[in-house]
Amino acid sequence: MDSKGKQLAIATIVVVLAFLVLIALVATIGAGLRSYERSEIKIADIDISAEALGIADAMLNVTTYLDNSGDAKSGDVDVLIKAYNVDTNLLVASNKTKVWKIGGRETKAASTYLKLPKEGGYRLQVVVFEDGKGILRGEREIYGLSRLEPPSVAKISIRELDFFVGAVEVESGRNREYAIINTTIYVDNLGKDVSGLRALIKARDNETRLIADKRWEDLGVLKEGTTSLHYAELRVLNGRDYIFEIQIWQSERIIKESSGMVMLSPFVNRTVVIEAKEKTVEISPRVEITDFIPPGAPVPEPMPYPTPPPAAPGFETLSAAFALFIAFVLLLKKRRGGV
């Protein structure tokens, strides 16, 4: 091969290598540009639904549809919903929902719940944040929440109550015994499936009518036509008699009540009268009022009874002089009448 042929071959190789380098460079730059592409998030739509929680309040479900029309994945997205009273323009409630990342060419729905009074109208403001920075806003107005009917009352029945002593605890230093009473509640659901019910169980001292202990329990989901068992533990002072009161709550109102007796007085020494004559005997109480303070609560220090302020100086002397003057006048009239 002559020198001219060698030069042509070298030139061809250089051109091919340069072309390959150019392709690699373009690919690298393109990839870098694509990595810096931004997401394009828009509020596609807003849906609002509401249901009454009771007579006074309603629960709003604000669903925001977010559309990312770009190719790049978004950052962390949050949706903040704020409710303003339309008459006062005051903020009534707010809540935030995390949406996380939205992929390219993807649409996500974010549901946010707000509890509002069923009075007047509200202006709902939707604020969308990406990586902590507000990027979008939207507004809606709603009226007529007062016309929402409260949910129908659940058709349930408390069939039975069972009680048994789970344990006995002895309080050191005071020689007091406390019984752990396990309560079993049998609940019949006579209607459709229902959830959101709560039970308040209270132990009321039968003599003093004071509440010794109480506890809230969620009833969970009650299936239609079933009987479910629910359990609670209350701690009460041994040797007393108690009324266990059960209240079933739905949407902040009581829909069912029941009660049962737990008799613990037979387990302690008692005083009985065996004489035929009536006799008044003063006995010391076996319990103190501090025994009914819930465990862990601070015992209040006794407070001195306030004494009345002293009378103004000279007031007693003036009163005595006035009384003597009245007596003198009455005596003088009596003598004149006798003359």
Tens digit of each residue's pLDDT (9 = 90 or more) over 230-262: 999 999 999 999 999 999 998 778 999 999 999
Domain membership of residue 301 (yes or no) is no
Domain membership of residue 201 (yes or no) is yes
Q: How far apart are CA 81 and CA 111, in angstroms?
A: 10
- CA-closest candidate to residue 133, choices 38, 232, 48: 38
State the average pLDDT over residues 127-131: 95
CATH of the domain at 184: 2.60.40.10
**8 A C-beta contact, residue 107 and residue 40:** no
Domain membership of residue 193 (yes or no) is yes
Domain membership of residue 281 (yes or no) is no
Structure-model confidence comparison of residues 268 and 58, the more confident one: 58
pLDDT digits (tens, 9 = 90+) for 274-285: 665 666 666 666
Whether residue 262 sits in one domain with residue 160: yes
Q: Which domain holds residue 99?
A: 41-147
Whether residue 175 sits in one domain with residue 115: no
Is the pLDDT at 198 greater than 90, yes or no? yes
Q: How many CA atoms lie within 13 A of 133 on its CB side?
A: 5
Whether residue 199 sits in one domain with residue 126: no
- CA-closest candidate to residue 68, choices 44, 41, 45, 98: 41
Helix or strand or coil: residue 20?
helix
Domain membership of residue 199 (yes or no) is yes
Q: How confident is residue 39, by pLDDT bands cut at 50, 70 and 90?
A: confident
Strands 194-205 and 133-142 turn out to be: unpaired
**8 A C-beta contact, residue 73 and residue 20:** no
Among 119, 147, 175, residue at a domain's last position: 147
- The pTM score is 0.50
Domain membership of residue 185 (yes or no) is yes
CA 333 to chain CA centroid, Å, is 79
- CA-closest candidate to residue 119, choices 82, 148, 80: 148
- Total count of domains within the chain: 2
- CA-closest candidate to residue 244, choices 230, 264, 258, 265: 258
Whether residue 181 sits in one domain with residue 143: no
Strands 91-100 and 106-117 turn out to be: unpaired
Phi, psi (deg, nearest 5) at residue 132:
80, 0
Structure-model confidence comparison of residues 256 and 311, the more confident one: 256
Domain membership of residue 278 (yes or no) is no
175: how many CB neighbours lie within 10 A of its CB? 7
pLDDT digits (tens, 9 = 90+) for 41-85: 999 999 999 988 877 889 999 999 999 999 999 999 999 999 999
